[in-house]
Amino acid sequence: MIKSLIIILTCSISIFANQIILVVADDFNSSKAMLERYEDGILLGDAIEVNIGRHGLGWGLSKIELEHNSSDPIKVEGDGKAPAGIFKLISAFGYEQNRSLDIAYQKVDKNLICVDDSNSDVYNQIVTLTPVEPKSYEIMRRDDHQYRFGVVVAHNTSGIKERGSCIFLHIQKSPDSPTAGCTAMSEIQLREIIGWLNIKKSPTLIQIPSSASKETLKLYPYLKKSKLLAEPID
């Protein structure tokens, strides 16, 4: 039987999330962005630079939709874009044993994969490899360090074909290396975030181009002091 790490959500996103990771890029084409963290409406620490998709951002699939133009790019499988939108952060994973985290954690081994075959019944799920392999998948215990620690982003939880899969916060390859669609940072920064996440506080990723600042502030007015969000134009 396939053992699956829960990616499909059983509850909707609350706009009253007590923990928010805000990631803002200059535009849809940028492969760099800045990240701020908030808890109970209070900014924690300084903003950090992160790497996103090598082709920037495209609107993803989440429980809360931000208004956007029909001409804006849309996230699809294999496009090298990170998903823009509002997403739950539902669990963490890594090569080490769980060290008393406040969010679900799975220790990965060589048989754990994330399926990016859009025609598979387990598309966009982390599962144990079986003799009947999907046509395309990522090995979660990689030879490099990038998945030594990671956080699952609840994007495309319904597994809609070709709308993107296997979206994580993970360790960057290098400070200037964009990703295939995830959000990456240094191991020190990611360890701090994972240790901070608390599932009881509905941790949420808001990842947007600067042009979506106004719509974001409508949903989360306590982010108005953010240095990353552009001033709304009325």
- Would you say residue 65 has pLDDT above 60? yes
Residue 80 vs residue 2, higher pLDDT: 80
| b/e 54-87 (16+ beta carbons within 10 angstroms → b) | ebbbbbbbbbeebebeeeebbbebebebbbbbbb
Q: What is the pLDDT of residue 232?
A: 55
Strand partners of residue 169? 151, 183
Residue 182 vs residue 62, higher pLDDT: 182
Mean of the pLDDT values across residues 74-93? 97
Q: Could you tell me what percent of the chain has a pLDDT over 90?
A: 82
Q: pLDDT (tens digit, 9 = 90+) per residue, 169-186? A: 999 999 999 999 999 999
Closest CA to 185 of 77, 92, 210, 177: 177
Contacts of residues 10-18 at CB distance under 8 Å and 24 or more positions apart, as own/partner, are 12/63, 12/64, 13/62, 13/63, 13/64, 13/86, 13/87, 13/88, 13/202, 13/204, 14/202, 15/64, 15/219, 15/220, 16/202, 17/201, 17/202, 17/203, 17/204, 18/201, 18/202
Beta carbons within 8 Å of 43's beta carbon, 6+ residues apart: 36, 37, 225, 226
